[in-house]
Structure 1
Amino acid sequence: MNLIKLSVGTENIEDLAAWQATKRAQTPEGLPRHVTRMWPKREAEIVNGGSIYWVIKGVIQCRQTVLRLDEYMGQDGIRRCAIVLDPTIIRTQTSLKRPFQGWRYLPVCDAPPDLPKGRAAEEPLPVELNRALAEIGVL
């Protein structure tokens, strides 16, 4: 089982990587994490090889393997879930996704495939071209 999440405030995969490189977005040992209010009930399935798929500008563009879920206590005293991620960002075939709040479960059968090894290092397409191609089913 996977998760899917909007990457709010990022324009591209490089922005996501830059945010995750900040101290604020990392665990004490330096791994990227995403803190969310809700704890996934399907935790065992997610940490057993699941990934978080990132939606950037309305398009699923990449994923990261979920390593674990940590409890995170905010300054307001509210218990939250820190989704701890492998720092490797894997580009995927693009897929359009309408806006939604929070995270959602994404079954393995519905997840877009990773880009082939040779294409993963290619310069990414501009966001608008990427979206247009995904809309007509080319990507």
Structure 2
Amino acid sequence: MKKLAAGNWKMNGLTAALAEVKALNAANPHPLCEMLLCPPATLLAQMHQAATGSNLALGGQDCHQDASGAHTGDISAAMLRDVGAQYVILGHSERRADHGETSALVKAKARAALMAGLIPIICIGET
């Protein structure tokens, strides 16, 4: 089984950071582990284009438990998949602390992710 090294960009990164994606892949074209980048949702589509043909996988930092609806500012698992994400981080301690997310909600989000064809990365605890 191949290891996975994930980088969660959190609320950091602008379009200028896309050049770093190409440099990262060029520096390590045959990694011993899968490299996953989880940028802000605003960069996912462009990052997918920048990473095409590379060994980099992409993921979202969160998704909504519903497939669609009146959820201003949220993003569905299908929307993440549509812009090239393969993974999604769920239950991060910052989401739990800042947004009051519960384990029951994380479970619902994980189901939505699986239904959309994403691999959920479920965070348990702080570290």
Q: As a proportion of its length, which structure holds more strand?
A: 1
Greater RCO, CA 8 A, separation 6+: 1
TM-score computed with the length of structure 1 as normaliser: 0.26
TM-score computed with the length of structure 2 as normaliser: 0.27
Q: As a proportion of its length, which structure holds more helix?
A: 2
